[in-house]
Amino acid sequence: MKMNEVLYNAAAIADRVQELAKELDVAFDGSSIVAVVALKGAMPFAMDLIRSMKTPIAVELIRAKSYLGRESTGEVEFSLLPEGDLTGKTVLVIEDILDTGRTARAIYGALLIQNPQRVHVVTLLDKPARREVEFQPDWVGFSIENVFVVGYGLDYDEAYRQLPDIRVLEL
Ligand code: IMP
Ligand code: MG
């Protein structure tokens, strides 16, 4: 295994997060939202993002485990769901990365049944070429090629989440 080049350094990530924060503030126009942070990968992104936003934000957490590979269906299980009532709320799901799209679609579905007014999705990274189920996020930080990346929350077997940059991992 070899740690390859830095794809986005900490400064580039910070710049893009600031841009996204501004775009989101404009979109929500001062009305309050509930941010649902997808654990664990989206933690650094979510905290940097919401800290830069002026929109009033309540924070909830969701934890989805994807079992792609074990089952051909690629089932998604939840080990943590939002505790607050989402009825009538404007929800913003904050994701680390969209790959096949299964996790994001499952999260979207799990939140929709709580009758929110709307569910929006922002993801730091998107790998559109890898999509296996239809899913279109509302905001994307960086759209990337089909490479495996680590750092800034993203892991390989729980390692590398603490890296300040996003790097390509050659497996
Ligand atoms: P999906 O359900 O296939 O879209 O997978 C999404 C999940 O797969 C993410 O939340 C990550 O945990 C993991 N994942 C997909 N691609 C990468 C990557 O390049 N680096 C680290 N984790 C990844
Ligand atoms: Mg992971």
Whole-number pLDDT of residue 70:
47
Per-residue pLDDT of the chain (171 residues; tens, 9 = 90+): 666 799 999 999 999 999 999 999 999 999 999 999 999 999 999 999 999 999 999 999 999 987 665 445 678 999 999 999 999 999 999 999 999 999 999 999 999 999 999 999 999 999 999 999 999 999 999 999 999 999 999 999 999 999 999 999 987
- Give the residue, by CA position, lying nearest to ligand 1 atom 8: 99
Q: Cα of 43 to ligand 2 centre, how many Å?
A: 12
Residue with tokens 């309540």: 58
Whole-number pLDDT of residue 65:
86
Torsion of the alpha carbons at 78, 155, 40 and 158, rounded to the nearest 10: 80
Whole-number pLDDT of residue 4:
77
Distances (CA, A) of 11 to 18, 56, 64, 97: 11, 26, 29, 19
Q: pTM, whole model, 2 decimals?
A: 0.96
CA–CA gap between residue 155 and residue 166 (Å, rounded): 10
Q: Cα of 151 to ligand 1 centre, how many Å?
A: 12
- Give the residue, by CA position, lying nearest to ligand 1 atom 16: 99
CA–CA gap between residue 76 and residue 53 (Å, rounded): 30
Whole-number pLDDT of residue 73:
65
Q: For residue 69, which ligand has an atom nearest its CA?
A: 1
Backbone CA torsion sign across 76, 82, 92, 6: negative
- CATH classification of 2-170, choosing from 3.50.30.30, 3.40.190.10, 3.40.50.720, 3.40.50.2020? 3.40.50.2020
123 lines ligand 1 (CB under 6 A): no
Q: Cα of 99 to ligand 1 centre, how many Å?
A: 5
Query: Domain boundaries in the chain?
Result: 2-170
The answer to whether residue 99 is catalytic is yes
CA–CA gap between residue 150 and residue 44 (Å, rounded): 13
